[in-house]
């Protein structure tokens, strides 16, 4: 639930376009040419993507809220054309006579088809699947790119990586790596993994799934560095930042679980090995942490460490060798519907995860600082520590 920002997306997978309206961005934020398009390009990459990515060349078209490359403070309206609409113009026409040549009558286990058909009393399940498609995340990535620029202007960096695909783990450590170094290594990998050996093993796992007519899921991680302490709050359930981040990741299509830091592993660890101990430098100054198992959030608030969240993505539900299902209209057994899809979309989900984390952190920062322009935000951020915390005056004994 965003408090200061409002984001709405619209459009269907094979419709004319995907659109986004983002309200609440301060005036004066510079968006360099091609900045949003680069994030859209990253979303389309990754080994295991399907033929749709060869059709689309996602570019944002600005319809409002931007002038001469700067935000105006009014709602930002963005449009991303679906080039594939040319192949679906009759079946997905917003107006005109009904053309049902590609009607969907057999739901896919694990997809929104069945539940959405029940909810909306659809006779043609395409009315559901077109909006449930992950094509919608192009709009989120565009909006998230704007939030990312805001964070960059205020000293916060973002990156992501894939830590598992189809059971293949990348155990590479990020210790000692800058955000730029993490980005460089993951962008060089076709599956966005840090380790070269793990990357090759993940590609082999995807290829095996393709040969078997199957799909694979995995785990991705998003990291934000430079986040000021005190974003979020402990005072109400809907203001806890960890809850907002987990909810944002779980809103991504096919993501079934999310955690902050080592949240899942910590459930089995004793308390003495679960928490991040303080250490006071001998030369004085602020305390530091020896670990970051909490993922930068304690009590629903940022604590100054890297914010680290992970998302668990299930295998995609459209399979070349479909599972058993039934005809929605006739009630007869049938093989599940087949739609063009990916065999693995975890690398792309990591990029979408970055966008969602950027939106949540930007919203929390705006909630804390207030202000309607970038100048106000910078001034208020500089004043955050005008009154030093109690440990600031400590000297070595």
Q: Is the pLDDT of residue 283 over 90?
A: no
For residue 313, the enclosing domain spans 6-393
- Determine the average pLDDT of the residues in 32-37: 97
Q: Is residue 283 part of a domain?
A: yes
Share of the chain above pLDDT 70, in %: 96
This prediction's pTM: 0.95
- Determine the average pLDDT of the residues in 279-300: 90
Q: Is the pLDDT of residue 395 over 60?
A: no
In this predicted structure, which of 27-31, 64-68, 320-324 has the lowest mean pLDDT? 320-324
d(CA 276, CA 267): 15
Q: Is residue 309 part of a domain?
A: yes
The larger pLDDT score, comparing residue 388 to residue 395, is at 388
Q: Is the pLDDT of residue 396 over 60?
A: no
Q: Is residue 179 part of a domain?
A: yes
Q: Is residue 81 part of a domain?
A: yes
pLDDT digits (tens, 9 = 90+) for 177-205: 999 999 999 999 999 999 999 999 999 99
pLDDT digits (tens, 9 = 90+) for 98-131: 878 889 999 999 999 999 999 999 999 999 999 9
Question: How many Cα atoms are found within 13 Å in the side-chain-facing hemisphere of 395?
Answer: 0
CATH number of 133's domain: 3.60.150.10
Q: Is residue 1 part of a domain?
A: no
Contact 5, 103 (CB under 8 A): no
Q: Provide the CA 294 distance to its chain's centre, in angstroms.
A: 20
Contact 255, 313 (CB under 8 A): yes
- Determine the average pLDDT of the residues in 272-301: 92
String of DSSP letters for 290-359:
S--TTTTEETTEE-SSPEEEEEEEPPPS--SSPPEEE-TTT--EEEPP-----S--HHHHHHHHHHHHHH
341: confidence class by pLDDT, cuts 50, 70, 90: confident
pLDDT of residue 261: 97
Name the nearest CA neighbour of 79 among 153, 138, 145, 133.
138
CB atoms within 10 A of CB 250: 14
Q: Is residue 228 part of a domain?
A: yes
Overall number of domains in the chain: 1
Q: Is the pLDDT of residue 165 over 80?
A: yes
d(CA 343, CA 191): 12
């Amino acid at each position: 639930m965003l408090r200061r920002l409002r984001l709405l997306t619209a459009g269907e997978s094979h419709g004319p376009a995907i659109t986004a309206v983002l309200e609440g961005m301060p005036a004066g934020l510079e968006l360099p040419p091609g900045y949003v398009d680069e994030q859209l390009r990253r979303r389309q990459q990754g080994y295991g993507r399907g033929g749709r990515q060869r059709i689309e060349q996602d570019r944002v078209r600005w319809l409002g809220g931007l002038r001469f490359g700067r935000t105006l403070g009014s709602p930002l309206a963005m449009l991303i054309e679906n080039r594939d609409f040319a192949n679906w113009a009759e079946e997905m026409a917003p107006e005109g006579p009904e053309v049902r040549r590609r009607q969907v009558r057999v739901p896919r286990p694990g997809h929104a088809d069945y539940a959405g058909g029940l909810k909306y009393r659809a006779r043609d399940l395409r009315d559901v699947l077109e909006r449930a498609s992950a094509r919608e995340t192009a709009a989120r990535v565009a909006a998230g790119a704007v939030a990312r620029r805001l964070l960059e202007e205020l000293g916060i960096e973002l990156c992501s990586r894939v830590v598992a695909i189809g059971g293949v783990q990348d155990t590479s450590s990020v210790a000692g790596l800058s955000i730029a170094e993490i980005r460089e290594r993951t962008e060089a990998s076709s599956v966005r993994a840090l380790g070269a050996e793990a990357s090759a093993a993940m590609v082999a796992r995807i290829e095996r799934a393709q040969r078997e007519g199957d799909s694979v899921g995995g785990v991705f991680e998003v990291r934000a560095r430079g986040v000021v302490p005190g974003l979020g709050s402990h005072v109400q359930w809907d203001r806890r930042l960890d809850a907002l981040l987990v909810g944002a990741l779980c809103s991504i299509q096919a993501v079934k679980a999310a955690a902050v830091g080592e949240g899942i592993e910590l459930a089995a660890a004793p308390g003495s090995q679960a928490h991040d101990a303080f250490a006071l430098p001998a030369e004085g100054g602020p305390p530091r942490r020896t670990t970051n198992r909490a993922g930068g959030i304690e009590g629903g608030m940022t604590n100054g460490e890297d914010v680290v969240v992970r998302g668990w993505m299930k295998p995609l539900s459209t399979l070349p060798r479909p599972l058993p299902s039934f005809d929605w209209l006739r009630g007869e057994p049938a093989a599940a519907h087949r739609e063009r899809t990916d065999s693995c979309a975890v690398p792309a989900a990591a990029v979408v995860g970055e966008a969602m984390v950027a939106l949540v952190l930007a919203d929390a920062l705006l909630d804390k600082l207030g202000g309607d322009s970038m100048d106000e935000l910078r001034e208020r951020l500089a004043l955050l520590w005008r009154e030093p915390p109690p440990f600031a005056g400590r000297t070595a004994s």
